[in-house]
Amino acid sequence: MQMDLHTEKPSYPAKSTSWGRFLRHMGNATETTSYPLRWLTAPIEVENSLRHAYLNRIRAVGLATLKVSMSFFVNEWLIDMPELKYHVSMRFKTEPLRRQKTMLRPLNISDPDIVVGYDWKSIRGDYKLAFYEVPDSLRFAFPIVLDPHFAFPFFSIEMRSDAEQGPSRNLHLAALMLRGLGHFYQRAYGKNDEADKFDGKVRVLTATISRNDVNVFGHWTNGDPGDPNVAYEHFLIRKWRFEEKEEFYAARHGLQTLCRWMMEENRKWIVSCMQELAKA
């Protein structure tokens, strides 16, 4: 597999009805300003954590202190999504991507600040017996050794003092997550016309949170039929800049909205793949 670590602006993924609806909801995909603040008033129940995150961003000296704000941005809404699971700073146990001659540095196994995936029990549904033993199609689906119910990760978040530090780590993890999803898809549809439809659509999200802003990227694969090399591509979906407290909540709301959208989009085809594999 070929890992694309380039930072120049890539081509956008193939358009789809769901992607178009989502972008109309979020605004222009290349827009870097915040949500219109007039319709994103923080609810009373998050006011305390919002104030804490805002002050912490100003006063935190080191990265460890800054990461205390992660609870406001991500954890507080994740716990209300029972179909998902997440892990904090947990190292992936998976086969590393094959290194290419063009790579400038080695790629280590990722241990993202937060990685979000499905609760296997919730997504497996009625196919418990069909997947009682893990088949080859699920080879990369469970990357956390200590949690066999954490499946198909699709969203990773890094918090860094410097906005330049997080994206390269996220690119590697995005490729690992795409490989797991793509491997499952190909095993389900490898012998019919659906096999090539995994490419060209956003399947994975990553976010980098720094002192000054939040950047969210969409990731997808591209490749030619019969070619074992895979290009991992990405583009900036949204950026929120931090100035006022209201913009902190706009970023939090955006992360939650993006996560829910990606969860629902992936769930549709994952369930369809399970139906195909259960027939075998």
Query: pLDDT tens digits, residue range 119-164?
Result: 988 887 666 544 555 566 677 888 888 888 899 999 999 988 765 6
Rg (Cα) of the chain, in Å, rounded? 19
- Smallest CA-to-CA distance from 276 within 154, 191, 181, 182 is with 191
Q: How many CB atoms lie within 10 A of CB 169?
A: 20
Q: How confident is the model at residue 15 (pLDDT cuts 50, 70, 90)?
A: very low
Q: Which range scores top for mean pLDDT: 29-38, 41-50, 101-110, 128-137?
A: 41-50
* Per-residue tokens: 28: 């222009």
If DSSP codes are grouped into helix, strand and coil, which group holds residue 163?
Answer: coil
- Window from 28-42, 176-190, 200-214 with minimum mean pLDDT: 28-42
DSSP bridge pairs for 157: 114, 207
Task: Say if residues 240 and 213 touch (Cβ distance below 8 Å).
Answer: yes
Q: Which is more confidently placed, 27 or 247? A: 247
DSSP state of 2: -
What's the mean per-residue pLDDT of the chain? 77
Mean pLDDT of 251-273: 93
E strands within the chain?
Answer: 84-88, 114-119, 150-159, 204-209, 213-222, 231-241
* pLDDT of 207 higher than 90: yes
* Per-residue tokens: 124: 């497996």
Q: Compute the residue count for the chain.
A: 280
The per-residue pLDDT for range 67-126, each reduced to its tens digit, is 888 888 999 999 899 999 999 888 777 665 655 444 444 455 567 889 999 998 888 766
* pLDDT of 33 higher than 70: no
Could you give the CA distance from residue 65 to residue 59 in angstroms, rounded to a whole number? Answer: 9
- Smallest CA-to-CA distance from 123 within 146, 94, 152, 97 is with 152
